Homo-oligomer: A and B are copies of this chain.
Amino acid sequence: MLVRSIGEAAAQLRGRRLALRLSQDQLAQRAGVSRKWVYEFEAGKPHAELGHLLRVLDALDLQLDLSPRSASSQSAQGAVDLDAILERHRDG
């Protein structure tokens, strides 16, 4: 699922935690963070350390993927080569 904001990630995290029937406390202990962190992140706190998030995602068996937004299907004719456009823009 695409993560566009922290709120979306928070919803995903909370849903996953409930699906695994873990309490905030249990998840926190698994991931090595405090319950406060879990509670606040699920509440949509905009600032959170990436390292903690990765640990929590790992504890929930969730994986994070990073990919170019528009270049995912770069070979297609209709696809936009953003890199080329930007580079041309910067060169011009």
Contact = CB atoms under 8 A, between A and B. Distances in A.
Contacts of A46: 51
Q: How large is the interface on A (under 10, 10 to 19, 20 to 34, 35 or more residues)?
A: 35 or more
Contacts of A86: 20-21
A87 to B, nearest CB: 6
A3 B62 CA distance: 11
Q: How many chain copies?
A: 2
Contact of A50 (B48, B61, B65): B48
A77 interface: no
Interface of A: 1-6, 9, 12, 16, 19-22, 46-51, 53-54, 57, 61-70, 72, 82-83, 86-87, 90-91
